[in-house]
Amino acid sequence: MTDFLTVLTTTDAREKAEALARGAVEAHLAACAQVSAPVTSVYRWEGAVEESTEWQVLLKTTTARYAELETHLRTAHDYDEPEIIATPVTHGSAGYLTWVERETAT
């Protein structure tokens, strides 16, 4: 059975989030990507505590496609060090996971 992941990234504009989502899906690196409404992010960057508004992008993919997806996100992203976090999917409906596998097949 193929292993599945959800991959999270963020960016500072809705249009950028939508472009990251669309690019990954068009390249078959993710079967689906959801752009969430703005969130407030608080983080330490270069020694200072920062606060900003960001849009989250949640991508559904397989472990087999993760490395290519990460490379795509790093290349397409304009942050110096973009958030890219992958979480294993431990359970899911068989039909949905089959669809994710089919849509991300190389």
User: What tens digit of pLDDT does each residue of 22-71 get?
Assistant: 999 999 999 999 999 899 999 999 999 999 999 999 999 999 999 999 99
Torsion 18-24-27-30 (CA) sign: negative
Predicted TM-score (pTM) of the model is 0.93
Q: Residue 9 and residue 11: Cα distance in Å, rounded?
A: 7
Question: Which domains are seen in the chain, by residue range?
Answer: 4-103 (3.30.70.120)
CB count in 10 Å sphere of residue 28: 16
On average, the pLDDT of the chain sits at: 96
pLDDT, position 39: 96
Question: Which residue in the block uniquely carries the two structure tokens 């992941």?
Answer: 5
Give residue 2's pLDDT band: very low, low, confident or very high (50, 70, 90).
low
Rg (alpha carbons) of the chain, rounded to whole number = 14
Residue 1 in this model has a pLDDT that exceeds 60: no
